[in-house]
Amino acid sequence: MSDETPLPSEQGKQTYQRILGEAFDKPLVGIRELTLDHLFAQIWNREGLSDRERSMVTIALLAFQGHRDQLMAHVRGAKRRGMSRDDVLELMIHVAHYGGWGAGASGQAAAMKVYDEP
């Protein structure tokens, strides 16, 4: 690799910070290494979808699966990057209809908690 191209974990750290708005400062052990080197370094940087589109898909899937902590982290990142409260409310209405009322309602409650944070 050239000096201008970051190593995968460095690129992953940069993307993680861009998407979630916080530094990744945990040791790269087990799943964390794959999170940075594969998910954030490679998947989030693929062509074809914008960061906003990937965030919307990620938020919908996390709400559907009931992964509240990860959902809130991704909603915080999307909020920092300018996604509006109304955008997330619409997304949760869509989740409720395609993924189940409970998933949409729980996802909305978690997301709105993020938007109520200072």
Same domain for 115 and 75: yes
| 68/70 Cα distance (integer angstroms) | 6
Same domain for 8 and 27: yes
Output the tens digit of pLDDT for each of the chain's 118 residues.
Answer: 456 677 778 999 999 999 999 998 888 888 999 999 999 999 999 999 999 999 999 999 999 999 999 999 999 999 999 999 999 999 999 999 999 999 999 999 999 999 999 8
Q: What is the pLDDT of residue 27?
A: 84
| 13/23 Cα distance (integer angstroms) | 7
Same domain for 58 and 41: no
Q: What is the pLDDT of residue 46?
A: 97
How far is it between the farthest Cα atoms of the chain?
50
Locate 11 and state its tokens.
């690129």
DSSP 26: S
**Can you list the alpha helix ranges (DSSP code H) found in 1-118?**
8-20, 31-34, 51-65, 68-80, 85-99, 101-116
Q: CATH number of the domain that 85 lies in?
A: 1.20.1290.10
Structural domain containing residue 35: 1-46
Same domain for 113 and 61: yes
Q: Are 77 and 54 in contact (CB under 8 A)?
A: no
Same domain for 77 and 118: yes
Q: What is the pLDDT of residue 4?
A: 67
* Alpha-carbon distance values, 99 to 6, 67, 94 (Å): 38, 14, 8
